[in-house]
Amino acid sequence: MKHINKIFLTLYLMVLLALPMVPGHPFSSVWDQDEALAMSSDTNPVGTNLIVEVAKKQNPAVVWVESVQKVQKMSRQRPGNPFFKNFPGMPQPPRRGGGTGSGFIINAEGYVLTNHHVINGADKIKVRLQVADKEKTYEAELIGSDRKTDIALLKIKREGDDTTPFPYIPMGDSKQLEVGEWVIAIGNPFGLSHTVTTGIVSAKGRDIGSGPYDEFIQTDASINPGNSGGPLLNMKGEVIGINTAIISGNTGGNVGIGFAIPINMAANIMKDLKEHGKVTRGWLGVMIQNLTPDLAESFSLKTTHGALVSDVLPNGPAFKGGLQRGDVIVKFSDQVVEDVSELPRLVATVPPGETVNVVILRDGKEQTVRITIDAQSEKEA
């Protein structure tokens, strides 16, 4: 009898555990698949061949990028920051300069996105892609690059009267990306072409100290030297980021922390590069700092949100618009400014000559000033 009771109890517990996974059951909302899936992609790859299908479809549009420079003198490389743009090394003999990285084609005309540091200083750029199960090398033209966001736009040079459309990867919406969402990285790490790795989005909006416009996607998908410029894809096969950097510690390889430029940012930069060959950014003309609790108390403020104006540059847009030292910028062009890192990105997206509303806190009271944005120069960056 006791044996029968144990069997009954075991079956009862198994039914209880299974109920939350039954669609339509009152408890099933705990495991609601629609709620759990990320917004950028509505498909879960677990238990499917989806990753295989995405890799097979998008691999032909991922290219090997080689930058060639004139002969360089012997030099000794020194260890740099932990991101893979810098490597410790040994003295090297005079050699032809340059390097390799990855990139991906974004339209049938043969435009390619990659990183600025992959092609920086190149005298000639070559790209290699898969054509009918074979690899073919083309020369590429540098349309423009942007050092501050580490983005470069190339265009493949066609041969003769060839008008065959190139394979390309459609762009997704990185704004819809969610932490925990599955992603795929494709590139050429250590010269191993078309390497596919998978992982998840570990975090969004990461500032890694590489520049004023840091807003990286962090992922644990394996990214290594040579992956620079390659695509980070969602489960729809859309590119949602450009693989750019890793934290490598002392190994020089991947430790599970990689960073990609959000594709929405890259798309805005690409538009300027395609039309003008360079990026024109807005300039406000202020020095700013974070509003700490002590500073907030000294200004009689109840919040630490916003960017504190520590200085106003003479004859700049902010000066002409009436901003003063000690003002706290809480909104810029209808966008909330949570902290000091957000303001440079917001200002940079405003076309020079456009007038925007800037909401500030002055003497504890909210005010709105109107400021006409100027163009940013290299010295003002």
Shared domain check, 330 and 216: no
Active site residue 150: yes
| Residue ending a domain, choose from 256, 278, 300 | 278
Residue range of the domain that includes 265: 32-278
CA distance 75 to 177: 43
Tens digits of pLDDT across the chain (381 residues): 555 565 555 665 555 555 444 444 443 444 444 444 556 666 666 667 899 999 999 999 999 999 888 755 544 444 444 444 433 333 333 333 457 899 999 999 999 999 999 999 899 999 998 877 788 899 999 999 999 999 999 999 988 888 889 999 999 999 999 999 999 999 999 888 889 999 999 999 888 887 778 889 999 999 888 899 999 999 999 999 999 998 876 766 677 899 999 999 999 899 999 999 988 889 999 999 988 888 888 888 888 889 999 999 999 999 999 999 999 999 999 899 988 888 988 898 898 999 999 999 998 889 999 999 999 876 554
In a domain, 3, yes or no: no
Shared domain check, 214 and 92: yes
Looking up residue 272, the CATH number of its domain turns out to be 2.40.10.120
With DSSP H G I counted as helix, E B as strand and the rest as coil, what are the percentages for the chain, rounded to 5?
A: 20, 35, 45
Shared domain check, 232 and 201: yes
* CA–CA distances in Å: residue 118 to residues 122, 192, 259: 9, 16, 16
Shared domain check, 123 and 55: yes
| Residue ending a domain, choose from 210, 244, 278 | 278
Active site residue 117: yes
Catalytic entry in 67, 146, 150, 248: 150
Active site residue 32: no
Shared domain check, 51 and 197: yes
Looking up residue 325, the CATH number of its domain turns out to be 2.30.42.10
Per-residue confidence (pLDDT) for residue 160, from 0 to 100:
82
Shared domain check, 205 and 156: yes
| Residue ending a domain, choose from 214, 244, 278 | 278
Shared domain check, 102 and 218: yes
Catalytic entry in 222, 228, 248, 333: 228
Shared domain check, 332 and 199: no
Q: Tell me which residue has tokens 């198994």.
A: 14
Residue type, 276: H
Q: Taking a C-beta distance cutoff of 8 angstroms, is the pair 188, 305 a contact?
A: no
In a domain, 25, yes or no: no
Catalytic entry in 40, 41, 67, 117: 117
Per-residue confidence (pLDDT) for residue 378, from 0 to 100:
65
Per-residue confidence (pLDDT) for residue 80, from 0 to 100:
43
Shared domain check, 232 and 104: yes
Q: Tell me which residue has tokens 């690899």.
A: 135
Structural domain count, the chain: 2
φ, ψ of residue 352 in degrees (nearest 5): -55, 140
In a domain, 268, yes or no: yes
Q: Tell me which residue has tokens 């990306």.
A: 177
Per-residue confidence (pLDDT) for residue 88, from 0 to 100:
39
Per-residue confidence (pLDDT) for residue 30, from 0 to 100:
40
In a domain, 129, yes or no: yes
Shared domain check, 226 and 163: yes
Per-residue confidence (pLDDT) for residue 150, from 0 to 100:
94
Per-residue confidence (pLDDT) for residue 82, from 0 to 100:
42
In a domain, 237, yes or no: yes
Shared domain check, 262 and 292: no
Paired tokens of 64: 């090997």
Shared domain check, 309 and 204: no
